[in-house]
């Protein structure tokens, strides 16, 4: 275990590589608090995003893996080994888990950097503190979830209780492995459920490590089971399983729709879906500090190489300032330091896979050939490394009917559109099938109110594009995606309630 409080000033790329070589890459189902052999003989090859070399292989997963995990979670739920604990004890265990994640943050950050290509400093300074904060928030909420009661008359009491839903299946994407894992684990366990977690086949290691730490923290075996594997096998089996009470999913809208179909075809399990986005970043001319806007737009768009569901992929900017803002963005990109994820000096890494790189470059070619003006980037970089690096890309003169403006690219490709009136800006912003998030830059309070009423999104930032660690509100504010970005409420106190079921009780204390 690496001490998270160790001074990082003198840790270089070679030090990180030495630590990486010493890490375990065991990937198999983690059920009843221990690793077991998968029932699958087929394997999936995971390649290193930084150099294209084979990183490891993992089982594709099998129906029997899922059946074992769900049966274990069901036993743990029914015998009340977790939900039956005093709230104070459950809270203490989850706080201990947060402490253990924090103490092992360098190791976990290293796992994410290796598998995803995330710059190690981003993983350490953003992902891990955020993950620890989410677990602590949920832990502190354990004893603050209440039902309701009301006296109906002198002999009757109406009570509404909240109880855990049962066996939850969590399925997560690959772009923020640790953050997404705890976003499923912490609220599910805080509310007394059992959880079967399926990490992405592209990023399984940190979720499995957190599973080990949960056992160390005191979470009873069987309460948290982790089944790695591919979506077509493990994910589909969970979606169709008749003994899963709820699915909490983070990933693409296409997969979310398939989960909805599977839930309906099986046992009508409850769903919480946080899916894709095509978020707008809207800049009005009254916000005069274009340097601040450029920094905010850049961070919202190109952080994590654009592989973020809330990335501000559509820049909708007033025509009077559009050219100047594009120039400032280009200057910021010029100062980027793309490089190996384990190089502490690098602040821009590779994409997750060759498949993703090819997909992003295909979108670039499509934009170029369908009338958009390529003003920056649009090509592979660091090709000698063998890694999957794509230069930050800016298209101008984009229209809402273009593919690059409609579809989620999940890469560093920004589409710029100009406007002259507020109504035009709102029309452009809402011209999408998605409704996850948006950002607006204006100092006009009346205009703020207007865009708050007009934008069809679940999350709105005004005059800031903060990375999650920049504000304590992230993880404590609820998010309800609109339209094809999903449905249900995740995060915050209201998000915790998504993992509970309501029961209405009428108590009559005497005969009439």
Q: What is the pLDDT along the chain (512 residues), one digit of tens a residue?
A: 344 444 566 789 899 989 988 887 789 999 999 999 999 999 999 999 999 999 999 999 999 999 999 999 999 999 999 999 999 999 999 999 999 999 999 999 999 999 999 999 999 999 999 999 999 999 999 999 888 999 988 889 999 999 999 999 999 999 999 999 999 999 999 999 999 999 999 999 999 999 999 999 999 999 999 999 999 999 999 999 999 999 999 999 999 999 999 999 999 999 999 999 999 999 999 999 999 999 999 999 999 999 999 999 999 999 999 999 999 999 999 999 999 999 999 999 999 999 999 999 999 999 999 999 999 999 999 999 999 999 999 999 999 999 999 999 999 999 999 999 999 999 999 999 999 999 999 999 999 999 999 999 999 999 976 555 434 455 678 899 999 999 999 999 999 999 999 999 999 987 65
Q: How far is residue 190's CA from residue 211's CA, in Å, rounded to a whole number?
A: 15
Helix segments in 455-508, DSSP class H: 492-497
Residues 322, 263 share a domain: no
| pLDDT, position 146 | 86
Residues 87, 230 share a domain: yes
Is 274 annotated in the active site? yes
Q: How far is residue 127's CA from residue 133's CA, in Å, rounded to a whole number?
A: 10
Residues 271, 325 share a domain: no
Q: Are strands 167-171 and 246-250 parallel, antiparallel or unpaired?
A: parallel
Residues 123, 108 share a domain: yes
Residues 239, 318 share a domain: no
Calculate the CA 273 to chain-centre distance: 11
| pLDDT, position 470 | 39
CATH number at residue 219: 3.40.605.10
CATH number at residue 465: 3.40.309.10
462 CB burial (10 A radius; 0-12, 13-18, 19+): middle
**CB within 8 A of 400, min separation 6: which ones?**
406, 417, 428, 431, 432
Of 32, 201, 274, 490, the active-site residue reads 274
Is residue 266 one of the residues assigned to a domain? Answer: yes
**CB within 8 A of 70, min separation 6: which ones?**
167, 169, 196, 238, 241, 243, 244
Is residue 241 one of the residues assigned to a domain? Answer: yes
Question: Nearest 5°: phi and psi at 473?
Answer: -70, -30
Is residue 435 one of the residues assigned to a domain? Answer: yes
Residues 251, 138 share a domain: yes
Indicate the angle between helix axes 87-103 and 205-217, nearest 10 degrees: 130
Is residue 100 one of the residues assigned to a domain? Answer: yes
Is residue 494 one of the residues assigned to a domain? Answer: yes
- Tell me the chain's radius of gyration from C-alpha atoms: 23
Residues 361, 419 share a domain: yes
Residues 246, 392 share a domain: no
Sign of the CA dihedral running 104, 110, 111, 116: positive
Q: Are strands 246-250 and 270-274 parallel, antiparallel or unpaired?
A: parallel
What is the domain extent for residue 410?
Answer: 280-475
Residues 239, 128 share a domain: yes
Is residue 12 one of the residues assigned to a domain? Answer: no
Q: Number of folded domains in the chain?
A: 2
Question: Nearest 5°: phi and psi at 370?
Answer: -120, 30
Of 138, 275, 309, 465, the active-site residue reads 309
Residues 220, 337 share a domain: no
Question: Nearest 5°: phi and psi at 382?
Answer: 50, 40
Is residue 17 one of the residues assigned to a domain? Answer: no
Residues 339, 266 share a domain: no
Within 13 Å of residue 446, how many CA atoms lie on the same side as its CB? Answer: 2
Is residue 22 one of the residues assigned to a domain? Answer: no
Global confidence as pTM? 0.94
Sign of the CA dihedral running 36, 38, 44, 45: positive
Residues 290, 269 share a domain: no
């Amino acid at each position: 275990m690496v001490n998270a409080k160790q001074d990082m000033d003198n840790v270089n790329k070679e030090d990180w590589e030495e630590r990486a070589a010493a890490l375990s890459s065991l990937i198999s189902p983690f059920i009843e608090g221990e690793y077991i052999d998968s029932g699958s003989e087929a394997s999936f090859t995971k390649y290193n995003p930084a150099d294209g070399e084979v990183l490891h292989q993992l089982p594709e997963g099998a129906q029997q893996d899922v059946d074992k995990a769900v049966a274990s979670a069901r036993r743990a739920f029914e015998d009340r080994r977790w939900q039956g604990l005093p709230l104070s004890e459950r809270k203490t265990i989850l706080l201990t888990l947060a402490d253990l994640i924090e103490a092992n943050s360098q190791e976990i950050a290293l796992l994410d950097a290796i598998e995803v290509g995330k710059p190690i400093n981003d993983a350490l300074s953003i992902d891990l503190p955020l993950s620890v904060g989410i677990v602590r928030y949920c832990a502190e909420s354990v004893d603050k979830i209440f039902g309701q009661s009301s006296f109906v008359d002198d002999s009757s009491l109406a009570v509404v209780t909240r109880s855990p839903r049962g066996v939850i299946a969590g399925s997560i994407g690959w772009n923020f492995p640790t953050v997404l894992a705890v976003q499923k684990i912490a609220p599910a366990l805080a509310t007394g459920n059992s959880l079967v977690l399926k990490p992405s086949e592209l990023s399984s290691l940190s979720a499995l490590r957190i599973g080990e730490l949960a056992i160390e923290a005191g979470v009873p075996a069987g309460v948290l089971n982790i089944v790695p594997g591919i979506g077509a096998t493990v994910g589909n089996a969970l979606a169709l399983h008749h003994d899963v009470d709820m699915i909490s999913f983070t990933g693409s809208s296409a997969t979310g729709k398939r989960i909805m179909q599977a839930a309906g075809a099986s046992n009508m399990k409850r769903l919480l879906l946080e899916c894709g986005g095509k978020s707008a970043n809207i800049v009005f001319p009254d916000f005069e500090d274009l340097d601040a806007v450029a920094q905010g737009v850049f961070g919202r768009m190109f952080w994590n190489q654009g592989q973020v569901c809330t990335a501000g992929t559509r820049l909708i900017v007033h025509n009077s300032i559009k050219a100047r803002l594009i120039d400032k963005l280009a200057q910021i990109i010029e100062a980027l330091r793309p490089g190996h994820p384990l190089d502490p000096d690098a602040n821009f890494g590779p994409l997750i896979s060759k498949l993703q790189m090819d997909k992003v470059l295909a979108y670039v070619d499509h934009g170029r050939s369908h009338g958009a003006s390529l003003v920056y980037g649009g090509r592979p970089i660091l090709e000698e490394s063998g890694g999957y690096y794509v230069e930050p890309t800016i298209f101008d003169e984009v229209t809402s009917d273009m593919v690059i403006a409609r579809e989620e690219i999940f890469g560093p490709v920004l589409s710029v559109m100009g406007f002259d009136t507020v109504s035009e800006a709102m029309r452009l912003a809402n011209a999408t099938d998605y409704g996850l998030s948006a950002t607006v830059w204006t100092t006009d309070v009346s205009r703020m109110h207007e865009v708050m009423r007009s934008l069809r999104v679940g999350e709105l930032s005004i005059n800031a594009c903060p990375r999650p660690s920049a504000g304590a509100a992230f993880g404590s504010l609820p998010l309800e995606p609109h339209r094809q970005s999903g449905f249900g409420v995740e995060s915050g106190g209201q998000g915790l309630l998504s993992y509970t079921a309501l029961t209405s009780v009428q108590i009559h204390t005497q005969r009439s």
